[in-house]
Homo-oligomer: A and B are copies of this chain.
Amino acid sequence: MPVSDSSHVLVTGGTGFIGSHTVLELARQGYNVVVVDNLSNSCEEPLRRIEKLTGLKDRIPLFKVDLADKDGLREVFRQYSFSSVIHFAALKAVGESVHKPLMYYRNNIAGTLNLMDAMIEFGVKNIVFSSSATVYKADPEGRPFREDSELGCTSPYGRTKLFMESIIQDVVNAEQGWNAIMLRYFNPTGAHESGTMGEDPMQIPNNLMPYMSQVAIGKLEKLHVFGTDYNTRDGTGLRDYIHIMDLAEAHVAALRRLPANQGYEVFNIGSGSGQTVLEMIDAMSAACGKKIPYSEDPRRSGDIDTILCDPTKAAEVLGFKVSRSLEQMCADLWRWQTTNPNGYEQ
């Protein structure tokens, strides 16, 4: 169902992994998208690929603006009439945030404050926010997290997500007519099925799947499985993986929900089922047709047995469910990895 009006959706961080796949899905569904990104951890190329994949005649407008730059941001709002904003732009490396907390707070929080100020100034009152399951307090029994589960973070990165949620909620409470949807993602992976878009880590990947994918193609020597004595079916950590295109569709579902005028809402976005590290290794090995070498290493501090999503609320309210299988996640990731071994680098 294409969008009929001529207003635009602003996507901050729209060239990053989740941002770019969401822009793709928005463009595919006929939304007019404008991207703001400081390109600190990404490049313009995914936008070119989106234009090709969707047959767009015009370029997707990209403003190379850091959200710290209030005036630069206001200039974007001056040039376009936005119906809503999807806010991805943020630093996201958990380990780095432990060592550089002030950088994370400054970048993520101040950026969000500037964005919200600009939205108020220009009368844009609809926002979808890129949050994370990391805001939940670890549950020792590994029960699936519901949106009303207890909150509590172990890293500065996680706290910036929690604080940004609070800031947005306080604005919704303070101002008339605002609608905000927080999407708390579990573990996004995979790539677009075309193989032309995917995750492009600029350093050694922090997350399991891009790391594994680089091991599979021979760029990294072997995978490290941290902890084999967890209380899970095979002793390795169990997580809730979601295909990046399912996650992209969840953002569009959230965007469509905003006009329902429900004020502030929170949704988990995950599959509701979980895989262990060893199961992911098996699935990826099957997808790439070779054994992925790994070593069994000690637990990392801060890791826990199980992180699972209860996806009931998103299904009931947003009508969102994942539709892509674990096999497809791995097949699509592998297609991206093999056809673009150096990511977006030409």
Report A's interface with B, CB cutoff 8 A: 98-102, 105-106, 109-110, 113, 116-117, 120, 156, 159, 163, 166-167, 170-171, 173-174
Contacts and interface: CB of A to CB of B under 8 A. Distances in A.
A174 B113 contact: no
Query: Chain A interface secondary structure, helix, strand, loop or mixed?
Result: helix
A105 B113 contact: yes
Copies in the complex: 2
Contacts of A110: 106, 109-110, 113
8 shortest interchain CB distances as A-B pairs: A101-B170, A156-B170, A106-B113, A101-B174, A163-B163, A159-B166, A105-B167, A99-B174
A171 to B, nearest CB: 6
Nearest to A152: B151
25 contacts: A98-B170, A98-B173, A100-B174, A101-B170, A101-B171, A101-B173, A101-B174, A102-B113, A102-B116, A102-B120, A102-B167, A102-B171, A105-B109, A105-B113, A105-B170, A106-B110, A106-B113, A109-B109, A110-B110, A110-B113, A156-B166, A159-B163, A159-B170, A163-B163, A163-B166
A105 B110 CA distance: 9
Nearest to A169: B101
A116 B173 CA distance: 30
A156 to B, nearest CB: 5
A271 to B, nearest CB: 30
Nearest to A167: B105
A167 B116 contact: no
Contacts of A120: 102
A106 B110 CA distance: 7
Nearest to A106: B113
A99 B175 CA distance: 8
A116 B99 CA distance: 14
A170 B101 CA distance: 6
Given A100-B174, A101-B167, A106-B113, 12 more contacts: A101-B170, A101-B171, A102-B116, A102-B120, A105-B113, A109-B109, A110-B110, A156-B166, A156-B170, A156-B174, A159-B170, A163-B163
